Amino acid sequence: MSAVKQSTSNHAANGSSSRLSRFSVPLVAGVICLPLLVVIAAFFIGIVSPEQREVLQHLWQTVIGEYVRHSLILLVGVGVLVLVIGVATAWLTTACRFPGVSWLRWALLLPFAMPAYITAYTYAGMLGFEGSLQTWLRVTFDLSYGDYWFPEVRSIGGAVAMLSLVFFPYVYLITRAAFIEQSSAAMEAGRTLGLGPWASFWRIALPMARPAIATGVTLALMETLADYGTVHYFGVTTFTTGIFRTWYGMGDPIGALQLASILMTFVVVLMVIERSSRAKSRFHSAGRSATRTTPHQLKGGKAWLAFAVCFLPVLFGFLLPALQLAWWSIDRYDIWLQPSFWNLVSNTVILASIAAVVTVLLALWLCYGKRRMPVPLVRSSVGLATLGYAIPGVVIAVGVMVPLAWLDNRLIGLSQWALGYNPGLIFSGTIFALIFAYAVRFLSVSIQTVDSGLTQIRPSMDESARILGLKPKEILARIHFPLLRTSVLTATILVFVDVLKELPATLVLRPFNFNTLAVRAHEMASDERLADAGPPALMIVLAGLIPVILLSRAMGRRKADEQAAHAVEPKPEEIYEPVKA
């Protein structure tokens, strides 16, 4: 009788937990999507309201055409360069053998650690008129200003080059994974038909990897649209710089929201193109085959040419900027001894730690709720909560500021009416706004990592725990969390580093007299104090190496697992024994 009562109580507890998941997950996802809904609503308000329609019309007549033109130039330029660099390096490091290929496979991920705006600062310092290269040219050849031509790094062409050097690893990483997973049977069939290595690449491997290539290029273009530090420092007017100018210079939050909605339209179009590209793909891998394609051994000039193709992106995308930052940091060693610098480090670490913990806890709640109640409403809510990563940080910041400012005004009015006391800004003027924006922006990273870990835990373990009388929260704490320890730690580190590098949202939402390393590096570079920007920028780069190391280890483990799986695969002669006469 007592067992029946316990089973009934457990069933009731599980039922209430399922109902809680069904309603709490969409509620949390709705709060996360609130900034995006505000931006979308602002666009329709601008169309309906006569006053805002005039503002939108004025923006179209004056600046939006220039923003669209510059954004398209950036998208086309960066898209072409990351496509060429990413696909070429991915194919060479996967299908060919040449000197240095083993360490170039992970070295090509190093530009991930270098934020685009920091790369822009370092190259401006090296290639500008006062930079080391032009100074050496003038001193060596006794030249003066105007005696020689040198490309202007602070231009839209320079912005394309800087963004391409930083974002090509998106294409390299995803495309190389696609090349590794491709069936060797198709490549062997091509060789049987007389196709050489390059013909096999163009006619077999490249079409099969097209969906992965489209995904990598789309991610790089989304990051291009989201960039603020590079285009602002190089004087290129885009939607991100226009949003800052409209918000702070003109004091027009609705106009900034309208620009943000147009920028978000660009992002949605890119997402639709990427999805349609994958949906229309007619090339599919045939799965794992019994034989493995041997990488083509390059010799002589071809080997060194392949090495140069793979090494130059590492040189220009990471090594040269890192060396320049190290030189500036050594030259301005006194900054490392100042208490104000370590106060910046403390602010940044505390802010990133809080944001990482909050974001991972939200991801655990949403992913576990989806596991407990995988109904369409819950699954679609979790999917909507991951859209923030595709939206530029400045758009999210503007979308966060408007509802929080409205809420603060309502609370101030209520407090003055009821208590005669003005509490000041509680949400919009505090760290709460920053944490909220970071959660919206980087929740997708945590959800993907945590959900990947949860899918590896068999549902039978949950059923066994329920039979033993454990409640859902006890199952999560005593069973799932120990198994998810690596996934949770990885998600925490990735969000931590992303928050360290985030610039636009921090600039918009940071409280008064509150700085981070990213903001200080941006301020110093904007004041042309590039040497002073070296120490905070170097700290950000050193922290950015953490996810690169994690990615390299993950790729190494994946390759080792594939080799182990291949080692245990039976050979054809072991399966089909020859028939003796």
Q: Is residue 504 part of a domain?
A: yes
> Domain tally for the chain?
1
Percent of the chain with pLDDT over 90: 13
- The structure's pTM equals 0.80
* DSSP-assigned letters across all residues of 514-554: ---HHHHHHHHHHTT-HHHHHHHHHHHHHHHHHHHHHHHHH
Which one has a higher pLDDT value, 144 or 75? Answer: 75
Residue 4's pLDDT band, with cuts at 50, 70 and 90, is very low
CA dihedral 352, 353, 359, 365 (to 10 degrees): 180
Q: Is residue 115 part of a domain?
A: no
Residue 201's pLDDT band, with cuts at 50, 70 and 90, is low
Q: Is residue 555 part of a domain?
A: no
79-97: average pLDDT: 90
Angle at 177 between CA 172 and CA 179, to 5 degrees: 95
Q: Is residue 491 part of a domain?
A: yes
Residue 563's pLDDT band, with cuts at 50, 70 and 90, is low
- Tens of pLDDT, residue by residue over 205-229, are 667 777 778 878 888 888 898 888 8
Q: Is residue 483 part of a domain?
A: yes
Q: Is residue 433 part of a domain?
A: yes
DSSP state of 131: S
Closest C-alpha among 237, 255, 260 to residue 392: 260
Write a three-state SS string for 283-347: CCCCCCCCCCCCCEECCHHHHHHHHHHHHHHHHHHHHHHHHHHHHHHHHCHHHHCCHHHHHHHHH
- Tens of pLDDT, residue by residue over 386-422, are 777 777 888 888 888 888 888 888 888 888 888 878 7
The pLDDT mean for the chain works out to 78
Q: Which of 241-250, 434-443, 563-572 has the highest mean pLDDT?
A: 434-443
- Tens of pLDDT, residue by residue over 137-172, are 888 887 777 777 788 888 999 999 999 999 998 889
Domain with 472, as residue range(s), is 11-34+338-515
Which one has a higher pLDDT value, 116 or 150? Answer: 116
Which of 134-138, 319-323, 486-490 is least confident? Answer: 486-490
Give the Cα separation of 97 and 297 in Å (integer).
Answer: 5
Q: Please tell me the chain's helix, strand, coil percentages from 3-state DSSP, rounded to the nearest 5.
A: 80, 0, 20
Domain CATH number, residue 414: 1.10.3720.10
505-533: average pLDDT: 85
- Tens of pLDDT, residue by residue over 362-380, are 988 888 888 777 788 888 8
Q: Is residue 160 part of a domain?
A: no
Which of 98-102, 181-185, 368-372, 444-448 is least confident? Answer: 181-185
Q: Is residue 446 part of a domain?
A: yes
Which one has a higher pLDDT value, 49 or 530? Answer: 530
Return all residues near 295 (Cβ < 8 A) that are at least 6 apart.
94, 95, 96, 97
- The pLDDT of residue 42 is above 90: no
Tell me the angle at which helices 431-455 and 376-385 cross, rounded to the nearest 10 degrees: 130
